[in-house]
Chain A
Amino acid sequence: MAMKGFIRKFKPLEILSEEQFQAIHKATLDVLQNVGIRIEHKRALKLLESHDCQVDYGNMRAKFPPGLVEECLRKCPSSFRVKARDPQKDLIMGGNTIYFGPAPGKQTVNLDTWEPREATRKEAYDGLTILDALPNVHFLPSYTPYFGFEGLPPVMRIPEICAAKIRNSTKWFFDGYSNDCEIFIIQMAQAMGIDIMCSMLASPPLTFYGEAVECAFRMAEAGMAGRVLPGGVCGATAPVTIAGSTVTANAEILAGIVLLQLMRPGMRIEVKDFTYPQNMRTGSPAFANIGVSLHGVVFSQIWRRYGIPAGMTTAYPSSKIPDFQCGYEKAIIALIAALSGINLQLVQGAIHGELTHHPVQAIIDDDLVGMIGRFLEGVEVSDETIALDLIAQVGPIPGEYLSKEHTRKWWRKEQFIPQVADTLTYPEWMKKGKKSCLHYAKEKMEEILAKHKPTPLTESQERDIEKILEDARKFYKEKGML
């Protein structure tokens, strides 16, 4: 058993011709071989050097022979399982399956003023309860639902949020790294008997800081799965063009893959696009710019060809409230991602970029994801669905289909039924106070919080988690960071 996710039953959307694919692939290998990647980690550089990479220790740059890159790509499994707290919620990444997860935010928002503010501990835990309950949230990413909560010292944010995810959800999750916190993330995963991935994030252009590489070594040594991300902003830390920024992003990821496969051959690796165009007025990432989708579809096509499970850049909106803009931004990005054949996509809950998240938005987005998921399942064509006998039996007017068993059997499979969308008639809508999906989502949030109780940890599991958190606090106190 595993988390069901959605299975795409038709060909994925591909926008590169074979010639275009080859040109980008060739240029990527060229960058790896001739420009190289700066890797600020001596042990990693030594490992690369012992596998025929040309290493310049002075500027910490490694150049990768194409043969090594291709060999390491072949060592990556094209599909693999990651274990969740509840075995029925394991993910099997790869193939035609897409899993959706929430898009986290640094802070929450006030639902009346829409202004951002830091979440309380209770809000963070409640947010996880909601995500645990939502049917189309298949896993939880790092920093979810918030990057931390009130009163947490910065170094304890990732460990505490990791513990919160373990306590309030049985779904699979992955996490971030910072200041060696992956030591404690791995310990928590081992205590729970689950798989964890910590992201190995490049610092573009063409650089990995030591911290990311150290985290990768720890993940590999613990037998966990790996996750490599680029992180460029097109026009600032990556070329402004989709083609050029695909080359640098893929060169960064491939360098990460080579390292991980040399550390632990056959290691399970997922890659994620994390590339935004630049907002040319503010210098911030241009969230929800259509460039995100263009880059993502190209990314999806190339990594499917490379045979490695891939995730697309998060469907972060640029809007600040759950309005028309927020809706179309998320819908377009999430739908295109799904059509492109990507394996993981973050959607639910983000309000503005990665700055704000709210459970109410996550509930609205869960309908969006469900709608997309239903589309991916495509159209079943069989004798039963064509229903030739039934059509003959019903015939012209006064024939009808509402009373037929065929309708009762099939309508729920054919349609998607949203949880909080307004689907009323005008008279009903006016009578019920002209409510929108936002009103229904607020009601739904209260309902979930009243009814849904995440499966609690056993006493000994809770002791283990608390002990690891205590060890983390001690570790940072000794380092003078707490």
Chain B
Amino acid sequence: MKEEILKGLQKSLRDYDQEGCVAGAKKAIQEGVDPLRAIDALTEVIQEVGDGFSRGELFLPDLIAAGATMAGAMAELTAALKKKGLERKSLGKVVIGTVFGDIHSIGKDMVSTLMTASGFSVHDLGIDVKAERFVEAVKQDRPDILAMSALLTTTAKEQKVVIEALKREGLRSQVKVIVGGGAIDQAFASGIGADGYASTAPEAVTLVKSLIGR
């Protein structure tokens, strides 16, 4: 029975069926499936999607749909985990978001999905994220990595604002900061004092692994 629920959950993710996936997660919790097992089952599928993307068999629309489908179910499952006082083991914790004033989500979503697929636990703050919100998430989540995206030249400088805010709060040394997005290059990243920059989503995964020594 529990195996069937998990298989159904995986199928709904493979089909990018957002409602089905949330319903599957709820059902798993109701039927007493260990939320950790349900998360592992979803991660397995996301890894398949990530691998398919790397092999050039799956494309951006797949990656975005898979990420969005998984997000709803993950919200249910992590809430259930919290209730039990449990936490998921992962390669590392990542807080990610598109900076204040910028509403571009695709690049950030790609990175978020591929990081999840690679075994990181990702807290996605979404788009148009103010510096205070990033700082708050770093305080609360104590992530290994803070990842920021900016597509516009006009919003790129907001990444610096966040880094400065982290310094003011005495949090800068506790977290590795990586930046990316259409408006960013290595020189800019170094200039604002980021720990790393990647020009593509798969590179971002490699970068994070090297930064935290995995």
Contacts and interface: CB of A to CB of B under 8 A. Distances in A.
A398 to B, nearest CB: 62
Given A278-B60, A280-B59, A282-B200, A236 B106 contact: yes
Contacts of B110: 283
B107 interface: yes
Nearest to A281: B59
A281 B56 contact: yes
A235 B65 CA distance: 13
A283 B153 contact: no
B56 A235 contact: no
Given A280-B59, A280-B61, A282-B200, 6 more contacts: A154-B153, A235-B60, A235-B61, A236-B106, A281-B56, A281-B60
A280 B60 CA distance: 5
Contacts of B106: 236, 283
Interface string B54-80: 001001110000000000000000000
A281 B53 CA distance: 8
Interface of A: 154, 235-236, 278, 280-283
Contacts, number: 18
Interface of B: 53, 56, 59-61, 106-107, 110, 153, 200
Nearest to B59: A280
A403 B57 CA distance: 62
Given A154-B153, A235-B61, A283 B107 contact: yes
Contacts of B53: 281
5 nearest CB pairs, A to B: A280-B59, A280-B60, A283-B106, A283-B60, A281-B59
Nearest to A240: B61
Nearest to B106: A283
Contacts of A280: 59-61
A236 to B, nearest CB: 7
B206 to A, nearest CB: 16
A280 B106 CA distance: 11
Contacts of A154: 153
| B60, B110, B200 interface centre (most CB from chain A within 10 Å) | B60
A154 B60 CA distance: 32
Contacts of B60: 235, 278, 280-283
Contacts of B61: 235, 280
Contacts of A278: 60
A236 B107 CA distance: 11
Contacts of A281: 53, 56, 59-60
A153 B191 CA distance: 15
Nearest to A235: B61
18 contacts: A154-B153, A235-B60, A235-B61, A236-B106, A278-B60, A280-B59, A280-B60, A280-B61, A281-B53, A281-B56, A281-B59, A281-B60, A282-B60, A282-B200, A283-B60, A283-B106, A283-B107, A283-B110
A235 B106 CA distance: 11
B205 to A, nearest CB: 15
Contacts of A236: 106
Contacts of B200: 282
A23 to B, nearest CB: 26
B187 to A, nearest CB: 11
| A154, A280, A283 interface centre (most CB from chain B within 10 Å) | A283
A281 B59 CA distance: 5
A74 to B, nearest CB: 37
Nearest to A154: B153
A283 B59 CA distance: 10
Contacts of B107: 283
Nearest to A233: B106
B212 to A, nearest CB: 25
Nearest to B199: A282
B185 to A, nearest CB: 11
A124 B200 CA distance: 29
A400 to B, nearest CB: 57
Nearest to B153: A154
B10 to A, nearest CB: 24
A281 B56 CA distance: 8
A231 to B, nearest CB: 14
Contacts of A283: 60, 106-107, 110
A420 B200 CA distance: 38
Contacts of A235: 60-61
A154 B61 CA distance: 34
A292 B106 CA distance: 22
A282 B111 CA distance: 11
A476 to B, nearest CB: 15
A282 B110 CA distance: 9
A280 B65 CA distance: 13
B57 to A, nearest CB: 11
Contacts of B56: 281
A293 B213 CA distance: 47
B102 to A, nearest CB: 13
A154 B56 CA distance: 36
Contacts of A282: 60, 200
Contacts of B153: 154
B152 to A, nearest CB: 10
| A154, A235, A280 interface centre (most CB from chain B within 10 Å) | A280
B65 to A, nearest CB: 12
| B53, B56, B59, B110 interface centre (most CB from chain A within 10 Å) | B59
| A235, A280, A281, A282 interface centre (most CB from chain B within 10 Å) | A281
A278 B110 CA distance: 15
A281 to B, nearest CB: 6
A469 to B, nearest CB: 21
A395 to B, nearest CB: 63
B105 to A, nearest CB: 11
A281 B110 CA distance: 10
Nearest to B200: A282
Nearest to B154: A179
B64 to A, nearest CB: 10
A442 to B, nearest CB: 29
A464 to B, nearest CB: 30
A283 B200 CA distance: 10
A127 to B, nearest CB: 22
Nearest to A178: B153
